Each structure stands twice: as C-alpha cells, then as structure tokens.
C-alpha cells in the first residue's frame, strides 16, 4: 500500500478509521445494558463522555448505531452488525492482554507456563483469559520455545506447566492429552490441487516440495514422521505467519495446523486438500515433571483446557 494510494483513498491507516478500544467497549456495554448512562458507569466515565464518545464514533463510521430515546437506547440494525464486528476486535484485544500480562509477570509469578509456539500463539491467550476470569489474582508467566526447550524449563524448575505439540513426550515428563490438532494440506484456491476430485496420496505429498516451518518445529516433526522423514521443502520459513503468507500468495502447497488457518479457510484465501493414507492428527499435550502432579493454579489452568 503506497503512500500515493493512501492519499488517493484519503485514509491514514486503520487507527484513524476504526474507533479506539475504549469506544468499542462502550458500544458493547450500550448493547448489553440498553442505556448510555448505565454503560458509562460500567466503563467508568461520566454520561456526557459516553454520549460524546458514541456520537463521534457514529460520525466516524457515518452510520447511526443506536436509537436514543428518553427511556433508553437500543441498537439500530447497522449498530447490531457493527457491534458484532466490534466484539471480535475486543476479543482479540483481550487475548492480547492475557498474553501480554503473562509475559509481563515473568519475574514474580506464581504460575509459570512454557508452551510451544503454535499453542502459545493460538490457544494460550484464550485459556489465560478464562483463568483470569476464575482466579483474577493468579500471576502467570509465559515462555515459548520448541518441545526440547519446554522440557528443559520444566526439568530445571523454571516452569510449572508445559504444553507441547510433538508426537512423543520428552523423557522425564508426564503428560495428558488436552486436545487434538490436525495438520492439513492447504493451497491457494488457484492451485491445481484445489480442483482435484480424489484425495492426495501420501506419495504425491511426499514427492511435492512444500512450504514448511524449519526443521525442529513441532509441525515439521509430525509431518516428517507421517511421511517417513521425506517431506521436501520448497521454502523453509521460521514463523507460521510467514508460511501462511507464502501459501496465500500462491507460492505453493503447505502443511499447517488447522488451528492456524481457520480464518484463511473461512475466507477462502486458502483451501484444504484432502489426503489419504497419512495420519496428520497430533495430540496437544500438557506436560509436567514426572511425579509432580500439577497443583494449585497449574491444576486450575489444566482443567480449563479440557473444559
């Protein structure tokens, strides 16, 4: 997106076109409580501030969001839609906060969690959010690394609870399966594979260069094992995001966790290619040093991950 194009659009980055988080939270409160004043009280400002904030949000969006009446305020149709989109933004922000909070409390924490990248990115923020809702006083810290790193942190006592996504549990650790993940083959919608009628065979997959995470990543391990160590890299990238971006741009097929590509599949930026004869399921496990059954906050978090 060039500057020239920004000029032409008359826009200056999202931040100027999307209301800030405080305003979005206010909108959600109004939707829930049905009154500007009540919403103002909930978010901790005065009623005029809320009134003005809401008004400027409507001006910014160019759409009326709430019908004000002398006995309360209700969302307009457009307001209901906007509120749903706002809720997503606020949820993402809450997940951000849960993660950041855990990161911040590194030093003086009582529950120290070590997790592999995919879990830290896609699942942990949500769990931490739930944990915080139930035990608001728990200070959590978060360290991310591959399976070996997680094992090391647990065994040296630098972490209380770990989450790994590999096939085998590192020695010295006990574990329990908390969820199952599936690796799926994805391509951009224009790729020839997207038009296949029959599932891909293991041989075809093994014979095709793929966009992959680097060796040593949990994802790569599972794939190598499933194919018998044969996965051929077309490109090797060091983050899931980079792999996704390459795949979306049509650079080639990739194999990724279904956790990571939900959004892309829904929006059809990527399509999932069925495969037969290969088991790409993998267990996501919570791990802890053998014998040291999780207790206290660790046990609490563990129970949340299993529902």
Partner DNA sequence: ATGAGGGCATAAGCTGGTCTTATGAGCGAG
Partner DNA sequence: CTCGCTCATAAGACCAGCTTATGCCCTCAT
| Chain residues in the site for DNA (CB under 7 A) | 20, 22, 35-38, 45-49, 51-56, 68-73
* CB closer to DNA, 24 vs 140: 24
* CB closer to its own copies, 25 vs 165: 25
Query: CB of residue 230 vs its own copies: minimum separation in angstroms?
Result: 29
Those residues with Cβ within 8 angstroms of residue 295's Cβ, 6 or more apart along the chain or in another chain = none
Query: Residue 171: which of DNA, its own copies, none does it interact with, CB under 5 to 8 A by kind?
Result: none
Those residues with Cβ within 8 angstroms of residue 132's Cβ, 6 or more apart along the chain or in another chain = 98, 101, 138
Query: Residue 21: which of DNA, its own copies, none does it interact with, CB under 5 to 8 A by kind?
Result: its own copies
Compute the chain's Rg from CA coordinates: 23
From 182, 232, 242, 240, select the one nearest 203 (Cα to Cα).
Answer: 232
Query: CB of residue 225 vs its own copies: minimum separation in angstroms?
Result: 24
Query: CB of residue 103 vs DNA: minimum separation in angstroms?
Result: 19
* CB closer to its own copies, 45 vs 202: 45
CB atoms within 10 A of CB 112: 23
Give CA separation, 148 vs 110, 154, 199, in Å. 23, 10, 34
- Distance (Å, rounded) from C-alpha 291 to C-alpha 41? 49
* CB closer to DNA, 93 vs 177: 93
H helices, E strands: number in the chain: 13, 13
Query: Residue 6: which of its own copies, DNA, none does it interact with, CB under 5 to 8 A by kind?
Result: its own copies
Is residue 117 a contact partner of residue 243, using CB atoms and an 8 Å limit?
A: no
* CB closer to DNA, 51 vs 272: 51
Query: CB of residue 18 vs its own copies: minimum separation in angstroms?
Result: 5
- Distance (Å, rounded) from C-alpha 175 to C-alpha 178? 9
Return the sign of the alpha-carbon dihedral for residues 188, 183, 179, 106.
Answer: negative
Query: Residue 52: which of its own copies, DNA, none does it interact with, CB under 5 to 8 A by kind?
Result: DNA
Query: CB of residue 228 vs its own copies: minimum separation in angstroms?
Result: 30
* CB closer to its own copies, 44 vs 229: 44
Query: CB of residue 109 vs its own copies: minimum separation in angstroms?
Result: 12
Query: Residue 55: which of its own copies, DNA, none does it interact with, CB under 5 to 8 A by kind?
Result: DNA
From 93, 172, 109, select the one nearest 301 (Cα to Cα).
Answer: 109
């Amino acid at each position: 997106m060039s500057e020239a194009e920004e000029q032409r659009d008359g826009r200056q980055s999202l931040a100027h076109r999307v209301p800030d988080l405080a305003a979005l939270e206010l909108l959600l409160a109004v939707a829930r409580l049905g009154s500007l004043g009540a919403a103002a009280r909930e978010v901790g400002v005065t009623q005029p501030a809320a009134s003005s904030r809401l008004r400027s949000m409507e001006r910014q969006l160019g759409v009326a969001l709430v019908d004000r009446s002398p006995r309360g305020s209700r969302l307009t149709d457009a307001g209901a839609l906007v509120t749903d989109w706002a809720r997503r933004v606020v949820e993402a922000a809450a997940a951000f906060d849960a993660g950041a909070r855990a990161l911040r409390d590194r030093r003086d924490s009582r529950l120290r969690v070590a997790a592999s990248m995919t879990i830290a990115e896609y699942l942990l923020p949500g769990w931490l959010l739930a944990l915080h809702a139930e035990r608001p006083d728990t200070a959590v810290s978060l360290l991310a690394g591959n399976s070996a790193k997680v094992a090391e942190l647990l065994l040296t006592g630098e972490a209380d609870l770990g989450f790994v996504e590999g096939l085998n549990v590192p020695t010295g650790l006990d574990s329990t399966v908390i969820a199952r993940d599936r690796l799926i083959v994805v391509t951009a919608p224009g790729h020839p594979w997207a038009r296949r009628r029959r599932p891909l065979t293991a041989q075809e997959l093994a014979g095709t260069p793929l966009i992959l995470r680097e060796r040593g990543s949990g994802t790569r391990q599972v794939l190598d094992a499933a194919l018998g160590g044969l996965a051929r890299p077309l490109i090797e990238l060091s983050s899931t995001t980079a792999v996704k971006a390459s795949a979306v741009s049509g650079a080639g097929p990739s194999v990724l966790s279904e956790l990571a590509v939900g959004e892309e599949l829904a929006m059809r930026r990527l399509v999932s290619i069925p495969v037969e004869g290969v088991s790409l399921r993998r267990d996501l496990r919570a791990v802890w040093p053998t014998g040291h059954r999780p207790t206290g906050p660790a046990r609490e978090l563990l129970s949340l991950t299993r529902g």
